[in-house]
């Protein structure tokens, strides 16, 4: 992975609608999630870790989550959700251990999985564990979303404002 951010972490940071500390000339944000994300909140790639997190009460049993049933969360150069707008549902939180070196001093609890409408963001990597519950949740979200009843417009806050692709040379 080198200097690149890992997939889930990069996607969560890209979906941030309220950039905090975006570096000059950095990656353009897509938007979509009404959250503020702290990039690399848990430190550099060498600070990557895994832990067991309890299932949040907002996680649906239909995806296989049961109250307080833990799941394995792997954090690789991970961001954290520092704040959420009113339409964002927190699905998982991480209790920052006392004395932990993190990007935002004095923070004791952060959101690490959120859902807003048709979007799901995690700061950890469910795709590299054997636990399929996060995938079941996402597939269920996709299945229940169906096709939009009306065409989306540029004014739709749920529409991802993706910049036009760069013109790159073809080799």
Rounded average pLDDT over 41-64:
84
Are 59 and 137 in contact by the 8 Å Cβ rule? The answer is yes
Confidence tier at 31 by pLDDT (50, 70, 90)? low
| DSSP 8-state class, residue 15 | T
Residue 136: strand, helix, or coil: helix
Q: According to the model, what pLDDT value does residue 114 have?
A: 92
CATH of domain 7-145: 3.40.50.880
Confidence tier at 156 by pLDDT (50, 70, 90)? low
Rounded average pLDDT over 120-147:
85
Domain ranges of the chain: 7-145
pLDDT greater than 90 at residue 93 = yes
């Amino acid at each position: 992975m080198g200097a690149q951010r890992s997939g889930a972490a990069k996607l969560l940071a890209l979906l941030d609608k309220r950039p905090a500390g975006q570096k000059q000339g950095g990656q353009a944000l897509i938007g979509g999630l009404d959250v503020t994300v702290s990039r690399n909140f848990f430190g550099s790639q060498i600070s990557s870790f895994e832990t067991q997190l309890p299932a949040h009460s907002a996680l649906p049993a239909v995806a296989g989550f049961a109250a307080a049933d833990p799941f394995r969360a792997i954090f690789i150069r991970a961001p954290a959700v520092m704040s959420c707008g009113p339409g964002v549902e927190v699905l998982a939180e991480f209790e920052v251990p006392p004395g932990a070196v993190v990007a935002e001093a004095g923070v004791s609890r952060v959101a690490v999985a959120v859902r807003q409408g048709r979007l799901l963001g995690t700061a950890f990597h469910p795709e590299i564990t054997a636990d399929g519950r996060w995938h079941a949740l996402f597939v269920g979200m996709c299945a229940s979303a169906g096709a939009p009843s009306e065409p989306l417009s540029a004014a739709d806050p749920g529409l991802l404002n993706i910049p036009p692709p760069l013109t790159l040379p073809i080799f």
